[in-house]
Amino acid sequence: MIDDIKIRMATVDDAENLLNIYAPYVLNTAVSFEYEVPALADFKHRISKTLESYPYLVAEQNGKILGYAYAARYHERKACDFSVEASIYVKSDCRKSGIGRMLYSELEKRLINMGIVSMYARIARAEHDDEYVNSDSIEFHKKMGFSFAGELHMCGYKFGRWYSLVCMEKQFTQSCRAHKEI
């Protein structure tokens, strides 16, 4: 199934397809802390803004987008210019198929080529798995080489429940060595 998947840069013209992937995460899960699905114009703006500085990738098979991943500025302070926060969303019927691994692997390559040193992910977590969030994303990030960096407790309220954010991190040692003289 994943042999004929292509990873490419997203364009603003992909916004509707990407929003169709994202909307169920907003409406049916605590994975996203948004309450309402963004308007298409707002989503286009998000993509455009991200593409100004960072990779925004899509996984495509036979002209259909199955998932996407992107990097965003971690923090506005200059000292954090070598760090990003990553996000990934895969169509619900394509999860656990290898698409996420393909997207993140390509994202990492591009970030390393940009001189990025650290990649962070903030992942929703419930005290116990529930119908809105489970530990799959945490396990995925572990398999991708991320390690636990901390937790923000009860920082999101959705569906009448409190959710925490697990912070995970991955350092690109090859980029770290290149920046020793900065």
CA 19/CA 27 separation, integer angstroms: 12
Pairing type for strands 83-90 and 118-125 reads parallel
Q: What is the pLDDT of residue 21?
A: 97
Which helix (H) or strand (E) segment holds residue 154: the answer is: strand 147-158
For the chain, the domain total comes to: 1
Q: What is the mean pLDDT of the segment spanning 68-72?
A: 97
Confidence of residue 179 (pLDDT cuts 50, 70, 90): low
The residue that leads in pLDDT, 3 or 156, is 156
The backbone torsions φ and ψ at residue 80, rounded to the nearest 5 degrees and listed phi first, read -95, 10
Confidence of residue 98 (pLDDT cuts 50, 70, 90): confident
pLDDT tens for 26-42 read 999 999 999 999 999 99
| Collapsed DSSP state (helix, strand, coil) of residue 72 | strand
CA 138/CA 168 separation, integer angstroms: 8
Q: What is the pLDDT of residue 175?
A: 54
Confidence of residue 95 (pLDDT cuts 50, 70, 90): confident
Least confident stretch, 52-61, 95-104, 163-172: 95-104
Give the chain's mean pLDDT. 92
Residue 97 above 90 pLDDT? no
CATH at residue 51: 3.40.630.30
Q: What is the pLDDT of residue 61?
A: 92
Least confident stretch, 72-86, 89-103, 141-155: 89-103
| Collapsed DSSP state (helix, strand, coil) of residue 61 | strand
Q: What is the pLDDT of residue 173?
A: 75
**Domain span including residue 103:** 2-178
Residue 96 above 80 pLDDT? no
Residue 181 above 60 pLDDT? no
